[in-house]
Amino acid sequence: MLPSVLRCVRPVSTSLSLSRPLAHFRPHMDPDPSRPVERSIRTKLTDQLTPDHLEVHNESHMHAVPPGSESHFRVLVVSSQFEGLPLIKRHRLVNEALKEELSSCVHALAIQAKTPEQWGSNPSLAKSPPCLGGSRGDHTVEEKLKAGRE
Amino acid sequence: MNSLIRNTARCLRSGAAVYIPRQADGRVWTSSARFLCAAADIQKALGDIVQKDKVVVFMKGTPAQPMCGFSNAVVQILRMHGVDDYASYNVLEDSELREAPNVTLVKMTSLDWNAAFSNQHNNKDNFFGVKAFSNWPTIPQVYFSGEFVGGCDILLQMHQNGDMVEELKKLGISSSLLEAEKESK
């Protein structure tokens, strides 16, 4: 029985290893084109909230973390599952869907959770406020970046 | 190896340290000297903290100097409504805060840590347990009258849709935006 493990792991490219011996080596500054965390977020939100519309934005580049990080995200979820729910319950649903990512690699998650009707009357993505550099002084961010690299 | 075992192993190797917060204005919520306390005490302490003041904010930095754009947004929203007198707790650790004599540093044993947080999905990244306490994975966190309201996104939407004025009224706080609106009429 395989335990289910969140893989915040960069896939190793074995096919290149014959011609380029150091292909498996990824310095942490190198952005991972496969974007595993973003894909995982997208998959889980799609599976669990069956959204009419979904946007997942990696905003790590707007924060005090190395290039290529997958630590700060903004998600916009439009789902009829939010009907009748107060904002806090909607956000908790999103948090629950992404709890593995939030407890490992993802440090910040901005959420917009709208019903289809709300989205119809105001189809706009909110903007994140400018970073004030807090991630630099935050040792827990360093741990999450490490988790993302492992 | 699942994440729980991995996190526990990490704690056992490094030794978990939990920092009791000092309020932004320098007040400590406890005047005791250094002591060892169980996680349950910290959760209870957080319960007391959020009840003690009408508006409580856990943030990065201080209202005078926020260290995070999202935390700053919360500060700005409260300021716009004329809410300046609230309790704020800075979750960022800095060496001065750690070493300062009037901060109580609590070091829990690995077993205590494991027992306290084994069912939490966010074992090692708890700051001083506020993420576990609120069952909310991010900072900032806002409490009104002991009840968790949400983070930056929720506060912003409450501000935009008028709910903030209503919620503050329930706390007995008259939003300055309401005053401004009355004056302009």
Residue B140 is part of a domain; what is its CATH number?
3.40.30.10
Residue matched to tokens 């700060």:
A72
Strands laid side by side in the A53-58 sheet? A53-58, A72-78, A108-114
pTM of the predicted model as reported, rounded to 2 decimal places: 0.70
Q: What are phi and psi of A131, to 5 degrees?
A: -70, 145
Contact A134 B71 (CB under 8 A): yes
Residue recorded with tokens 């894909």: A39
The tokens describing A125, both together, are 């993505």
Question: A86 to chain B: nearest residue by CA?
Answer: B154
pLDDT for the residue numbered B44: 81
Q: Measured between alpha carbons, how far is B159 from B157 in angstroms, rounded to an integer? A: 5
ipTM above 0.95, yes or no: no
Residue A48 confidence (pLDDT): 97
Q: pLDDT grade, residue A25 (50/70/90)?
A: very low
Among the residue ranges A13-17, A118-122, B60-64, B101-105, the one predicted with the least confidence is: B101-105
CA dist B177 and A8 (Å) reads 45
Q: What is the CA radius of gyration of chain B?
A: 18
The 10 Å Cβ neighbour count of residue B54 is 18
pLDDT band at A141 (very low <50, low <70, confident <90, very high): confident
In which region does residue B174 sit, left (phi positive, over 0), alpha (psi from -120 to 50) or beta (all else)?
beta
Q: What are A59's two structure tokens?
A: 């905003």
State whether A132 and B61 contact (CB < 8 Å).
Answer: yes
Query: What is the distance in angstroms between the CA of the first residue and the CA of the last residue of chain B?
Result: 65
Check pLDDT > 60 for residue B21: no
Question: Whole domain around residue B52: which residue ranges?
Answer: 2-184
Q: What is the pLDDT of residue A150?
A: 72
Cα B141 to Cα B132: distance, rounded to the nearest angstrom? 12
Which residue blocks in A3-149 are alpha helix, DSSP H? 36-49, 87-97, 99-103, 116-121, 139-149
CATH node for A36-120: 3.30.300.90
Residues 74-133 of B with CB under 8 A from A: 92-94, 121-125, 127
Q: Given an 8 Å threshold on Cβ–Cβ distance, is B138 in contact with A108?
A: yes
- The total number of structural domains in chain B stands at 1
- Alpha carbons A68 and A98: distance in angstroms, whole number: 20
- pLDDT single digits (tens) A38-58: 999 999 999 999 999 999 999
Contacts of residue B66 in chain A, CB cutoff 8 Å?
132, 134
Q: Which residue of A has its CA nearest to B121?
A: A103
Q: What is the pLDDT of residue A74?
A: 97
What is the chain A residue with the closest CA to B137?
A102
DSSP alpha helices (H): ranges in chain B? 3-14, 39-52, 69-80, 95-99, 110-117, 130-134, 152-161, 163-170, 176-184
* pLDDT single digits (tens) B28-50: 444 332 333 456 677 788 888 89
